[in-house]
Every structure is written in structure tokens, then in C-alpha cells.
Amino acid sequence: MRSQEFLQGHTNRVSVVACSKSGRYLASGQLSHQGFSAAIIIWDLPGRKKLHEMSLHKVKVQALDFSCDDEYLISSGGQDDCKLVAWRVSTGIAICGSPVPLDFATAVKFVNNDPHKLVTAGDFKLIVWELDVPNRMLEPQFCDVGRFRRIHTSLVIDAKDEFMYVATHTGDILRVSLGPKLFRNGGPKPIIELGVMSICSTQHGHLLAGGGDGSLTLLENETLRIMERCKLVGAVSSVVLAETHGNSFACYAGTNKSNIYLIKYDGRKQKFMPPELVQSCHYNKINDIAFPAGYSDVFATASTNDVRMWDVRDLKELLRIQVPNEWCDYKDSANQECLCLAFMPDGKSIITGWADGKIRAFGPQTGKLQYTIVDAHSTAGKNKAFQGVTALCPTSDSCRIVSGGVEGRVRVWRVGNQSHSLIASMKEHRGAISGVQVRKNDTECISCSSDGSCIIWDLTRFARNNSFYASTFFKAAMYHPDESQLLTTGTDRKITWWDAYDCQPIRILDGSLTSEVYSIDISPDGAGMVSAGVDREVKLWNYDEGHNYFVGHGHSKGEPRSAENHIGWRRGSNFDMGLQKASFKLSSRG
């Protein structure tokens, strides 16, 4: 069973990480808002605890590296900072700093045998620095690369500190001698398309170069000729050597598509083995999440590029469903965006709502397309910017689907083995539908909208039974398991209890003190509920008391555009304060 551990301490996105040569320390830097300091944290890696937190850079920490004896840490700020700072690892105190001449450094690296010498690479320049600790100085010496003017992305230094190999945005690698600081040669030919994003050296000094075209290339260290190449999904943003056996080795490669691969090189055959996908996740926002009815070991997620099925126990991806994008002039992605999804109660299909206004059903085991409902939710003029299926909920007999669209309509569909048809279309909302839920007896459903209204619909007359309004953009609405009450939340930060009979508010409390609440869910036994929103906190509440017992901190980004966080209880899990199981650790509150 695969496990994960989290180190928490940053307040914004982590921009760079670096591990010490001994494996004892880990350093991480973050992004910050314009004008604010960006923190660097040094972690005790075996103990999984924070040692020091330092703040001297503005807006962004661009690069980090440890010296060969783990005594010093060097950090480089981004384009709003342009500073190079040396730190003492044992105390977390800055030794000295220096502005980087002309521009900021995109990469920084200590040499392998001298803790007082380091190299920085930036746009059009390479600089070798001497760290003078007694005098608290950083002394720069520029390298002469002749007529070559390159935007440098990464660098690596050989084991003897004779040469450094500098990756460039152009797609070639520069070999520069560290002694005389002169350019020697470059390669490969042909160049690596879309630039060299990352580089590392093998046990024999050869180079592994990760390309923007998704290629991982093995290069001979002196001539820089191509020895072997394999293809990965996404630009290779990082590569690190894992283990070596004679002439063979293994390495890990990470891509900008959030994939981590294990690639093995057979030294006898001089070939790469087929890449093994070790870990994957969505590389963009997740629009929806759903568990199957009565089964909690798998769940599905909908994102901007695909639908994926996950194993809860092994934390592995089981299935990926992609729909090619037909609007290349409108969408940036090559695939359609899935806005919502749900499992049919009989477990025979996953129903999904897409940005092209279609409802598609797929087999949960094979991912095979079963049927498509064309123009389920689209405007009359076929305006691509104003169509899409934003909410879905099946009935308990798996024969009907209630859907909501961006145009504000709620529609009921009949689905069968051979055909599907529209039963009714109800239009009273003036904004996009953000959620729908059907009662257990399939006689009513509730829909919530960004126009500030929630409507209870009669699914036999296909007319409104009741409605209520609030000064908010509703983001979620659902029935309590006993269906005596309704629970809603939205952009006003409030979580509201409503009477299901007369739609009068029963209780209103603050779901967050600082930001919008985008999603709620109630435990199957009705005793607990959970909420999530832009503040990146997942909160566990007692439903009857309205008391917040636990807060989970696991998400790293909470901008409104990307924080439409959908949450779901594992079916069969009850609200037990002593035995609560969660996908991340919850800290006690109150």
C-alpha cells in the first residue's frame, strides 16, 4: 500500500525545493504576493519537522542549493528580487548577500568538492562565485561563452568540478570549463525541441536532459552526442538519478502534466526500458468529485482535461477518460473540459457533463463511451462561451438524469439501453446551475444557482414546488439524509440550514471568516458535515450542534477561479469523532 507524508508551513505555492547531499536537510521556497517577502524553510527530512524559516527575498524564491558539506544554503530571488543570499544551515542566519548583476539567476549550484564555490545561471550570463565567509562577501567572476547568447534554464557540474553543463531554452547544452571559465563546446545536434528544461549527470558522467517536447535524452558528456532517447507525457521539468548498477541506472522524471516516471537504462543493451508511471494527478483545477453508491474504495474526478478514476487505498490512478476538443480556436487544451460527474446508482456507468454542452456516459471499468446526449445544455445561438453542463444527478432507479446548465435550465432525461430522450425542461433560474440533488423517492429535486435562488422542483408535474432566495451566489445545496432539512452555502461565506417543508431558514453560521465556501457534504448518518472553500481549509462540523470540531490543511491553492473544491464522504463512513477516517490529517479546533 502506497503512503504519502506532507510537510506544511508555507503560505503560498512552493516554487522550488532542494535536498542536501547527505539527505538530512530539505529546503523549500515559495511564491508571495507583490511586495511581500517569500519564505524559505529548512526541514529536518528524517524527522519531518521544520528547523528554520527565513525571509529575505521578495515575491519569489527562484533557486536553492546546499553546499557539499551541508554547511551552507544558497538562495536566489526572482525577477522582482534579483538577490543572491548565503545562509548557514545550522542556525538559519544569513551570512551575506549580493545583487545578481544585470538580472536574476534562474539556476544556482554549489560545486561538488568546495563548499565555498558556486555557479549561477541566468539570461545570457554565467557567473562563478566565491563565498568568503569570514569577510561576509560573495565575489563574482564571469564566464566567457563567446558569441553564444542563451537563456539558461538549469545546470549541472561534473564530479571533479572540471566542467559545468548548462541547459538552455534554445534546446542545446553548453559545456563550460570551471577553471579558466571558458566555453568548450555545445550540443546535441539536432537540438532538443522546445528547450532543455532540466539536466542531471549519471554515475559515469553522462548527461540526462529533459526536454520541453517530453523527451528524456541520454548524452555523452564530452561530445554531447545523443546516445539514447525516450518519450514521456508532458515537458520534463525535473530529472534525478535514483540508483546505479554498473553501467545501468534508474532515474525519476517529473513532467508539467503532473506525471512522475521511473525510467531504467540497460547498460548492456544501451537502451531505455519502457517508462513506468509511478505517480500522477491532475495538473489543473478539479471541477467535481464523486464516490459510487455504497462503495468507498474508488472515486472519480472531473478536471479541465479529463476524467480519472482513483484507488483510495493505493492512491493510484485506475482509469483516464479524455474527449478530444473540437474548438481549438476557443480552448487552450487539446481535450474537452468536464464540469461535473456522477455515478449511476446501479454502478453500470459514469455520467459526465462537459463544456461543449453534452452529457456523456462511460463504462466505469473500461472507460468506453456508452452514449452521448447532444446539446443537453447549450444556447440557441451555439455560443461556445455560454454552454455547458454544470450539474448532474441520477434518480435512484438509474432510468432518469436531472441536469443543470450554464444557461440556467434544469432538464430531466430518460436514459435506456438503446436510446435517450428529453422528458422536461424547466427554466426559472437566471444564472448558471451550480448543483442539483434528487430526493430518495425521485419525486422532487433541488437546484441552486448563481442568481441567488434555490428551487425545489416536482418531478411528476415538472413545475416549481417551492423556492427560497439569499444575497449570495449559491454554490451547493443538498438534502439531509432524512430529507427534513436542506443545507446550502455560497459566496457569502455562510452555511445555512433550511426547513425542507416551508423553506424557512433554521440556522445560519459562518463557514469561513475570510473567504467563500464552495462545497459542502453531509455524512450518510446525518450526524456530521464537511465544508471547503477558497481558504484552502476542509472543516468537519457536527450537523446538529453546528460546531466546527476539526480543520484539515492539505490544499495548496485557493484562488476563487480554481477553488471550486468539491468534496465527498466515503460512502459507509459515519460521523465518529474518535474513529474519523479522512484523506488527510484533521487538527482539533475548539
pLDDT digits (tens, 9 = 90+) for 98-123: 988 767 899 999 999 999 999 999 88
Structural domain contains residue 154: no
Predicted local confidence at residue 313, as pLDDT? 86
Among left, alpha and beta (phi > 0; psi -120 to 50; other), residue 428 is alpha
- Last-in-domain residue among 98, 123, 142: 142
CA-based nearest residue to 346, from 269, 293, 309, 386: 293
* Residues facing 373 on adjacent strands: 359
The rounded distance, in Å, linking the Cα atoms of 32 and 52 is: 18
More confident residue, 317 or 555: 317
Same domain, 35 and 137: yes
3-state secondary structure of 384: helix
The rounded distance, in Å, linking the Cα atoms of 86 and 227 is: 38
Structural domain contains residue 554: yes
Segment 312-327 mean pLDDT:
87
Structural domain contains residue 397: yes
More confident residue, 406 or 333: 406
The rounded distance, in Å, linking the Cα atoms of 222 and 584 is: 48
User: Domain containing 477: what range?
Assistant: 470-590
Q: Which of 146-150, 160-164, 305-309, 356-360 has the lowest mean pLDDT?
A: 146-150
CA-based nearest residue to 339, from 405, 408, 425: 405
Q: Which three cell numbers stand for residue 204?
A: 559515469
Q: How confident is the model at residue 559 (pLDDT cuts 50, 70, 90)?
A: very low
Residue 589 has pLDDT above 60, yes or no: no
Buried b (16+ CB within 10 A) or exposed e, 86-113: bbebeeeeebebeebeeebbbbbbbbbe
> How many DSSP H helices and E strands does the chain contain?
0, 50
- Last-in-domain residue among 385, 410, 436: 436
Predicted local confidence at residue 291, as pLDDT? 92
Task: Identify the H or E element spanning 299.
Answer: strand 298-303
Q: How confident is the model at residue 51 (pLDDT cuts 50, 70, 90)?
A: very high
Predicted local confidence at residue 402, as pLDDT? 98
CA-based nearest residue to 193, from 162, 214, 224: 214
Same domain, 531 and 585: yes
Residue 248 has a CB neighbour count (10 Å cut-off) of 17
Residue 136 has a CB neighbour count (10 Å cut-off) of 12
Same domain, 112 and 18: yes
Residue 329 has pLDDT above 60, yes or no: no
Residue 154 has a CB neighbour count (10 Å cut-off) of 24
Same domain, 427 and 286: yes
Share of the chain above pLDDT 90, in %: 75
- 71 phi and psi angles, rounded to 5 deg: -85, -35
Segment 214-239 mean pLDDT:
95
Segment 26-37 mean pLDDT:
95
Same domain, 510 and 552: yes
Is there a cis peptide before residue 345, judged by omega within 30 degrees of 0? Answer: no
Structural domain contains residue 322: yes
Q: Supply angle C-alpha 198, 201, 203, rounded to 5.
A: 155
Same domain, 428 and 287: yes
One-letter amino acid for residue 159 of the chain = A
Task: Identify the H or E element spanning 209.
Answer: strand 207-211
Sign of the Cα pseudo-torsion (292, 294, 295, 299, in order): positive
Among left, alpha and beta (phi > 0; psi -120 to 50; other), residue 112 is alpha
Same domain, 296 and 424: yes
Structural domain contains residue 98: yes
Cβ–Cβ under 8 Å, residues 171 and 193: yes
Residue 127 has pLDDT above 80, yes or no: yes
Q: Which three cell numbers stand for residue 54?
A: 527565513
Structural domain contains residue 173: no
CA-based nearest residue to 143, from 110, 178, 108: 178
* CATH code, 77: 2.130.10.10
Cβ–Cβ under 8 Å, residues 388 and 355: yes
Same domain, 504 and 394: no
> pLDDT (tens digit, 9 = 90+) per residue, 464-511?
999 999 999 999 999 999 999 999 999 999 999 999 999 999 999 999
Predicted local confidence at residue 212, as pLDDT? 96
Task: Identify the H or E element spanning 228.
Answer: strand 226-231
Residues 6+ apart with CB under 8 A from 330: 384, 385
Same domain, 480 and 378: no
Is there a cis peptide before residue 190, judged by omega within 30 degrees of 0? Answer: yes
**In terms of C-beta density within 10 A (0-12 exposed, 13-18 middle, 19 or more buried), how is residue 405 classed?**
buried
Predicted local confidence at residue 285, as pLDDT? 87
Number of domains in the chain: 3
CA-based nearest residue to 319, from 354, 292, 377, 280: 280
Same domain, 522 and 579: yes
Average pLDDT, the chain: 89
Same domain, 293 and 428: yes
Predicted local confidence at residue 102, as pLDDT? 66
Structural domain contains residue 188: no
CA-based nearest residue to 438, from 481, 462, 412, 402: 402
Residue 579 has pLDDT above 80, yes or no: no
Count how many Cα atoms sit within 13 Å of the Cα of residue 196 in the half-sphere of its side chain.
32
- Last-in-domain residue among 88, 109, 142: 142
Structural domain contains residue 18: yes
Same domain, 337 and 426: yes
Segment 414-424 mean pLDDT:
91
